[in-house]
């Protein structure tokens, strides 16, 4: 004689299978979200480090630096006394970092990364022969992710 499942046994087994499936689904979503966040974090940090390295390299190559008083997110560098076209480091209207040398302008950061803060401060001591520039940057993801990465560094101009 064959014995069939009762309605209660069927409902209990469906509830257990549903709970396991829901748990696995939520776990998968959690792993996917964490992976995406890690990729955004890595992208933002690598763009910030690359931008800072490039700015520091340009400052080291310069013979003099000028931080306009009214525009603290703009740095003007002279590479030598005979160079008429200065190097300018600033942000465009969308928050992308760019370096302009003469008539040539190049973007430093990726299209999905934005600088929310870029500030240059002249820390040069009047008694010193070296110019020191403080660089402050806050870099974030343009896709609306709340993650941001802040960097503060100081670089000297060569003489």
pTM of the model: 0.75
Q: Evaluate whether residue 103 is within a structural domain.
A: yes
pLDDT of residue 28: 95
Domain span at residue 86 reads: 7-156
- 12 vs 79, more confident: 12
- 129 vs 95, more confident: 95
- 16 vs 156, more confident: 16
pLDDT band at 36 (very low <50, low <70, confident <90, very high): confident
Residue 45 to residue 39: CA distance in whole angstroms: 10
Mean pLDDT of the chain: 83
With contact defined as beta carbons under 8 Å apart, do 112 and 43 qualify? Answer: yes
Q: Evaluate whether residue 108 is within a structural domain.
A: yes
| Of the listed ranges 27-36, 56-65, 73-82, 110-119, the one predicted with least confidence | 73-82
Q: Evaluate whether residue 144 is within a structural domain.
A: yes
Q: How many CB atoms lie within 10 A of CB 129?
A: 7
Q: Evaluate whether residue 21 is within a structural domain.
A: yes
Q: Evaluate whether residue 68 is within a structural domain.
A: yes
Assess whether pLDDT exceeds 90 at residue 23.
yes
Q: Evaluate whether residue 113 is within a structural domain.
A: yes
Q: Evaluate whether residue 2 is within a structural domain.
A: no
Tokens (6 digits) for 141: 């993801």
- 21 vs 66, more confident: 21
pLDDT of residue 159: 56
| Helix or strand holding residue 80 (H, E) | none
Q: In the chain, how many domains are there? A: 1
Q: Evaluate whether residue 1 is within a structural domain.
A: no
Rg (CA), the chain: 27
Asked whether the CA dihedral 46, 144, 92, 131 is positive or negative, the reply is negative
């Amino acid at each position: 004689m064959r014995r069939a499942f009762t309605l209660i046994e069927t409902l209990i087994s469906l509830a257990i299978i549903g709970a396991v499936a829901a748990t696995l689904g939520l776990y998968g979503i959690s792993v996917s979200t964490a992976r995406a966040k890690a990729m955004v974090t890595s992208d933002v940090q690598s763009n910030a480090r690359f931008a800072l390295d490039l700015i520091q390299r340009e400052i080291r190559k310069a013979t003099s630096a000028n931080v306009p008083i009214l525009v603290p997110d703009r740095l003007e560098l002279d590479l030598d006394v005979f160079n008429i076209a200065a190097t300018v480091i600033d942000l465009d209207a969308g928050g992308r970092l760019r370096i302009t040398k003469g008539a040539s302008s190049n973007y430093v950061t990726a299209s999905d990364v934005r600088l929310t803060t870029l500030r240059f401060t002249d820390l040069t001591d009047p008694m010193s022969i070296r110019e020191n520039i403080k660089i402050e940057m806050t870099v974030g993801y343009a896709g609306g992710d709340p993650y941001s990465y802040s960097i503060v560094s100081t670089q000297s101009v060569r003489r």
